[in-house]
Amino acid sequence: MSGEEVKSYVKCFIKTNRLHRRVFELSVNETGVHRSQHQLLMHISVNEGSSQKEIAEAMGVSTATIAVTLKKLEKAGFVQKAMKLSDNRVNRVALTEKGKLIIQDSQRIIQELDEAFFEGFQKEEMDQLMNYLMRMQDNMLEYANKKGYAENLIHHCAPDKTKEGEKE
């Protein structure tokens, strides 16, 4: 395979990723929250009661970034903070009813987007695509390890090797 062929494949892959992300951003904006706020709401929805520090660590961002975004979400009525009883320095974050409605809307949007993204694909094609993508992730992680970059990758960059229906 020539360098130009590889370059065209990578370019197409990146363009597809950017297109998906942009359509997702535009769709999520309909809920009234921006992408970063949405990511935080989605994280809180599956990690209810996490502290700001725990959220920051899990999302790979600073606690200051989380604090700013949480303040906006709290002001808008999407989240609420409560002090941990055993430690007044720790705030636990939870969704409000308004926040839960955003999550429901988001789940509908994600399902619609996923269905549109893979419209016309057969199960066998999807399985083959998954295999290719996982191999690409493995290749990138191997390359990062060789270059000494692995410690700089946030945990969610690692491929998810769980099979459908399995829990980690």
Residues 6+ positions from 31 with CB-CB distance below 8 Å = 38, 102, 105, 106, 109
CA angle 152, 49, 87 (to 5 degrees): 95
Q: Which helix (H) or strand (E) holds 84?
A: strand 79-84
Q: Which pLDDT score is estimated for 29? A: 87
CATH of 3-119, one of 3.20.19.10, 1.10.10.10, 1.10.287.1040, 1.10.8.60: 1.10.10.10
Q: How many CB atoms lie within 10 A of CB 76?
A: 15
Domains of the chain by residue range: 3-119, 120-162
| Residue 86 one-letter amino acid | S
Cβ atoms of residues 50 and 92 within 8 Å = yes
Mean pLDDT by 10 residues, the chain (168 residues): 90 94 90 89 93 90 92 95 69 93 93 95 96 92 88 59 41
